[in-house]
Amino acid sequence: MHLLEDLHRNVRTIAMPMGMVVGALLCRPITALEELSHQMITPSLIFLMLFFTFCRVKPKQMRLSMLHLWMLLFQIVVCLAVYFLLLPVDEVLAQGGMICVLAPIAMAAVVIGGMLGADVTTMATYSLLCNMVIALVAPVILSFTGNGNCTLVQILSRVAPLLVMPFAAAQVCRFLFPKASQWIGDHSQISFYMWLVSLAVVIARTTSFILDLHGADFTIEIGLAVVALVICLLQFKVGRMLGRRYGDATAGGQSLGQKNTVLAVWMAQSFLNPISSIAPTAYIVWQNLVNSYQIYRKDHEMKPEARPEA
């Protein structure tokens, strides 16, 4: 039994880096398969893993807190601060850094947060709140930092179906099929493996995009990757600091640090200089390396408990 537990922990520790490597190496066939499915693989996986996670969430337990408001304020204020700070250096760097902060919490953050011991209800509440607020705010910010063509409907059409629908489906399942909902909630770790497949697909698509990108300055590409790394580490750190003040450092770190990079890449390619999308693309790698390290530490801390002394 201990051998199986150790094997599971080891698999979880290396799973995300391996998923990224597989996605990068097999970028062409995976991207072709995604195109063949009319780009439905990733949305379907996101729907299913959120459904599994939301089966653990009771709406009556969802409450807004000051932690949620502080994190929202951080995203809106700091994304503008990063943009104007980097604008004198280079506009593309400014756009890339700004979108890495503006992007809402990743829909899979609740899954990873639950694995790390965060309060799933706190994160689910922030996931719904943050994505809707950013959908309202993003068109305003992108109107003067980009080409000005972004609308509320465009953002909502990308966010709402994959956020509201699995939540609603999970609550209907809890009401009509409580035993099935209980089983799903008890086996929500399945959503982690769905996330791995989704991660490989996202990495494959972004790798193909970079390989097909022409006319980009190599210095700018490196600069965007470095900016994304600094912002990633900063957001995880600030999120944990805020979360610690309100009793859940892990929820704060994941809510602020783990971003909806698929949405961020789309916004950058659609409404900013397309080269700026290298920043959220690099952010995908950085945030999943951070998550891998956190899972390793979490499993390492649990290991002595899993092996009581004889």
pLDDT in tens, 57-109: 777 778 888 999 999 999 999 999 999 999 999 999 999 999 999 999 987 78
pLDDT for residue 209 is more than 50: yes
What DSSP line would sit under 207-270, residue for residue? HHHHHH--S--HHHHHHHHHHHHHHHHHHHHHHHHHHHHTT-HHHHHHHHHSB-HHHHHHHHHH
For the segment 173-178, the average pLDDT, to the nearest whole number, is 84
What CATH number is associated with residue 280? Answer: 1.20.1530.20
The pLDDT tens digits for 112-131 are 888 888 888 889 889 888 98
Give the whole-angstrom CA distance, residue 79 versus residue 99: 7
Q: Which tokens is 57 given?
A: 């969430």
Give the whole-angstrom CA distance, residue 195 versus residue 297: 20
- What is the H or E stretch that residue 24 is in? helix 2-25
Domain hosting 193: range is 2-306
- At residue 13 the predicted structure's pLDDT band, cuts being 50, 70 and 90, is low
Total structural domains in the chain? 1
Whether the model pTM is above 0.85: no
